[in-house]
Chains A and B, each alone.
Chain A
Amino acid sequence: MAAVVSQLLDVRDRLAKSAVTALRAQADAIEAHGKYEEAGTGSNHPDILAAVTNIRTAGEKAGKVARLLRESEDYIVKFINTIAPGSATSTPEAMPSGEELVTEAAARERRGSRYHRKATEAAANNAEKIQKAEKATKEIASIMKDRLRPGDTQASVAVPAKPPSAPSQAPKSGHPVADAVLAAAAVSLAVRAITQSVKNRRERKQSDGNKTANN
Chain B
Amino acid sequence: MAIKPQIIEYIRTFVRNDYTANDRIEAQLDEEGWDGLYSFLSAVFFYAIDLHFDGKRDDKAIRRFVADIRSENPEVADQIDPVLAENAIFAVLDESVDLEAPPETLARIQTLGIYKALNEANLSDSELDELLARAARLAES
Contact = CB atoms under 8 A, between A and B. Distances in A.
Interface in A187-209: none
Contact of A120 (B38, B47, B50, B119): B38
Contacts of A169: 52, 120-122
Contact of A148 (B17, B52, B68, B105): B17
A154 B141 CA distance: 41
Give the interface residue-count category, chain A.
35 or more
Contacts of A110: 95
B42 A166 contact: no
A46 to B, nearest CB: 19
Contacts of B104: 129, 132-133, 135-136
B120 A119 contact: no
Contacts of B99: 115, 118-119, 122
Contact of A113 (B39, B115, B116, B141): B141
A133 B107 contact: yes
Nearest to A114: B95
The majority secondary structure among interface residues of chain A is helix
B121 to A, nearest CB: 6
Contact of B107 (A112, A136, A163): A136
Interface in A150-171: 159, 161-163, 165-166, 169-170
Interface in B28-50: 34, 37-39, 41-43, 45-47, 50
A148 B14 CA distance: 11
Contact of B42 (A120, A138, A172): A120
Contacts of B111: 136-137, 140-141
A138 B98 contact: no
Interface in A99-146: 104, 108-116, 118-120, 122-123, 129-130, 132-141, 143-145
A67 interface: no
A116 B34 CA distance: 18
B114 to A, nearest CB: 9
A61 interface: no
A134 B34 contact: yes
Interface of B: 10, 14, 17, 19, 22-23, 26, 34, 37-39, 41-43, 45-47, 50, 52, 55, 68, 72-73, 75-76, 91-93, 95, 98-99, 102-108, 110-112, 115-116, 119-122, 124, 138-139, 141
Given A112-B46, A136-B104, A162-B17, 5 more contacts: A116-B139, A133-B104, A136-B105, A137-B41, A163-B116
10 contacts: A112-B50, A115-B91, A119-B110, A122-B99, A136-B111, A137-B108, A138-B26, A145-B14, A163-B116, A175-B124
